Each structure stands twice: as structure tokens, then as C-alpha cells.
């Protein structure tokens, strides 16, 4: 029986033979040391921060963006909350297809959703809910109707269906007339 040489494995990235002295292992493949980098961001990798998908090699962050769960609060990979899809690296496959859309009430009339945000009328999901209000508001909508200063439960004043900071609320709906609003806490009776 003639001697058969063992076939030398090929690097999935460059297609050239990988010898034992220069190999890196991941996902059942052997890679060259200088080919062992992320397919999206070209970051050099090691065994602790690499992830494979079929014969492609990724850093854990790019792998999470490309193949991880999609939607609000997902896509950052490696335990981070992020909306980064990796588009700056040319990734087109991780676009979210389940973004919330404006809900229409009835057949053809658009209006606020029951239990929706009082300012914009759209549905408020838990991840975007403002903290400190019993009525669900988007974090981005939870600001003063006049000066647009961000609000929280300690500086919010409600008037009818709108919210205001203490300063704007006092100017618009506070006491007025002679003796009020002169500044420096002065109440004049002269």
C-alpha cells in the first residue's frame, strides 16, 4: 500500500494551507494568525473574544449585532444595550424588521393609542417608559411643554393633559397681579 500524505487544512479566510506552527483554532476550522480577525470590523482576535458562524469569524460584538436577537434593547452583543447594527462595517443583514410602528385606531383614522403617550399618542413600550409618572410617557416626550427641559418626578407639574417644569408652570398658571412675580421673594403692599 502506497503512503498517503495527510491533507493540510486550508484557511477559510485566504484559502491557503495552514501549518501547525501558525494555526489558530475556532469553530472547527484552522486559521492563519494574521487571518484570525473579525470579518466585519477587522479587529485582531484571540480565543477569548472570537465567535464563528459557518466559516466566518467575528468578534463577539459584531457576531451579536449580525446574528443576535433583534429589536429594541437588543443588538449590542456582549451584554450591552445598543441600537448599533454594524452598518458602518457594511452589515446590511441585521436591520430590525420588528420596529414598533404608529398604531391606527379604527379603519382609517390615526389617533392616540389607548394607554399611549399623552404627548405623541404612540404606544409606550417598557424599555422607553419614563420613570416617575403613573401615566405612561416616552422618555423623550417627558419634558416641559414650554421650555422642553427634561423632567422627572421631583420637578413635574401637570396642567390638564400637559406637563411643565416648576418655573414655566408658575409663570403660566401661578398667581398673578400686583405683588406677584417681582422676584427675590418680594410681596409688596404699597
The percent of residues above 90 in pLDDT, for the chain, comes to 4
Rounded mean pLDDT of 29-58? 87
pLDDT of 3 higher than 80:
no
pLDDT at 147: 93
pLDDT at 76 over 80: no
Alpha-carbon dihedral angle through residues 6, 9, 10, 16, given to the nearest 10 degrees: -50
Cα dihedral 73, 79, 80, 85 sign: negative
Q: Per the structure block, which three cell numbers stand in for 138?
A: 416616552
Question: Residue 110: what pLDDT?
Answer: 46
Residue 76 CA to residue 82 CA, distance in Å, equals 4
- Assign residue 61 a region: left if phi > 0, alpha if psi is -120 to 50, beta otherwise? alpha
What 3-state class would DSSP assign to 25?
strand
What does the pLDDT read at residue 136? 86
CB 32 within 8 Å of CB 23: yes
For 17, the 3-state DSSP assignment is strand
**Grid-cell match 403617550, residue found:** 117
Give the separation between CA 121 and CA 104, rounded to whole angstroms: 10
146 φ, ψ (degrees, to nearest 5): -95, -60
As given in the structure block, the three cell numbers for residue 102 are 404608529
Give tens-digit pLDDT for 131-170. Answer: 767 788 888 898 999 998 988 878 888 888 888 998 898 8
Distance in angstroms (rounded) separating the CA atoms of residues 150 and 142: 6
Across the chain, mean pLDDT equals: 74
- For 109-123, what is each residue's pLDDT tens digit? 444 566 688 888 898
Q: Sketch out the chain's domains with CATH numbers.
A: 20-86 (2.10.110.10), 111-174 (2.10.110.10)
The reported pLDDT for the residue numbered 104 is 42
Amino acid at each position: 500500500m502506497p503512503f498517503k500524505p495527510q491533507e493540510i487544512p486550508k484557511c477559510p479566510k485566504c484559502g491557503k494551507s495552514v501549518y501547525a506552527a501558525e494555526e489558530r483554532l475556532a469553530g472547527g476550522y484552522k486559521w492563519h494568525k494574521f487571518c484570525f480577525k473579525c470579518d466585519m470590523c477587522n479587529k485582531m482576535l484571540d480565543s477569548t473574544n472570537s465567535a464563528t458562524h459557518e466559516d466566518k469569524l467575528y468578534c463577539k460584538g459584531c457576531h451579536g449585532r449580525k446574528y443576535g436577537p433583534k429589536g429594541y434593547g437588543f443588538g449590542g452583543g456582549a451584554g450591552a444595550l445598543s441600537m448599533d447594527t454594524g452598518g458602518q462595517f457594511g452589515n446590511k443583514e441585521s436591520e430590525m424588521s420588528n420596529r414598533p410602528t404608529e398604531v391606527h385606531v379604527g379603519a382609517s383614522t390615526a389617533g392616540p393609542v389607548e394607554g399611549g403617550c399623552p404627548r405623541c399618542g404612540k404606544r409606550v413600550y417598557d424599555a422607553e417608559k419614563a420613570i416617575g409618572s403613573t401615566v405612561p410617557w416616552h422618555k423623550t416626550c417627558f419634558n416641559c411643554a414650554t421650555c422642553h427641559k427634561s423632567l422627572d418626578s421631583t420637578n413635574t407639574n401637570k396642567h390638564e393633559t400637559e406637563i411643565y417644569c416648576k418655573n414655566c408652570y408658575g409663570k403660566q398658571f401661578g398667581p398673578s397681579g400686583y405683588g406677584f412675580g417681582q422676584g427675590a421673594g418680594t410681596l409688596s403692599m404699597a
